[in-house]
Amino acid sequence: MSPHDVTKAFEEEIGKYTGAPYVVCVDNASNALFLALTYDNIVGKGITIPSHTYPSVPCEIIHAHGMVWFYPSPPVLKGAYPLVGSRVVDSALRFTKDMYERGTFMCCSFTGPKKHLNLGKGGCILTDNERAYRWFKRARYSGRNECSYLEDQFDMIGWNFYMNPMVAALGLLNMGKFYRKGIPLEMPDVEMEYPDLSRWPVFGFGRAEFEDQVIPFL
């Protein structure tokens, strides 16, 4: 089995468990967010997120040339939430059976002791968009196809975000814990406390005021 085969097998197991037609694994969830936002072409768009979230989320919006807005949220974040203004979902705190939401790019995290699938490092994008899936696969791999660089045809600029095959192998070994007697288990959403990022001008435009509007947590 080649390193690419290990990664592909892990992705297939994630897809089977989460209900996502396509899965692309990367080296961390922040880079998953960046690739998803880049593909979604948020250049110049305002993307609204909770005021309390992980700091890399506004960073990746900015890296993808979007503008950050915050809506007031409690300090403790739980489960998944949409990056409003895009098709991207931050699912760092959710990993459970049949979780995939159609039409979205759900970004999962395998980094950190509280994550159900803690691999030390890693993340993935869940999608039902085959065209996006093919772009993500090459974008994460320096624009390359999954073959020797001595045989490849170079026609795309990408990033070095490929998941370490050893991490993928560890993930593949750990997927069994999400089943009992072959039946997929429902895992509870993770809860974590985060700082109020809207206080810091470096992240963008501060708080967005939503009158009579409820932000749709998933």
**Under a CB-based contact definition with an 8 Å cutoff, are residues 100 and 128 in contact?**
yes
pLDDT at 214: 42
Q: What kind of architecture, by CATH, is found in domain 3-203? A: 3-Layer(aba) Sandwich (3.40)
User: Which stretches of the chain score pLDDT less than 50?
Assistant: 209-217
pLDDT in tens, 13-48: 999 999 999 999 999 999 999 999 999 999 999 999
Angstrom distance (rounded) from CA 48 to CA 84: 5
Segments of the chain assigned E as strands: 22-26, 46-50, 67-71, 76-82, 88-93, 105-109, 123-127, 179-180, 183-184, 191-193
47 and 85 Cβ atoms separated by less than 8 Å: yes
pLDDT value of position 1: 65
pLDDT digits (tens, 9 = 90+) for 109-118: 999 999 999 9
Residues in the chain: 218
Q: Residue 89 CB: number of other CB atoms within 10 A?
A: 24
Locate 9 and state its tokens: 């097998």
Across 165-178, b (16+ Cβ under 10 Å) vs e yields bebbbbbbebbeeb
CA 154 from centre of chain: 26
Structural element, H or E, at residue 34:
helix 29-39
Per-residue model confidence (pLDDT) at position 207? 56
Domain ranges for the chain: 3-203
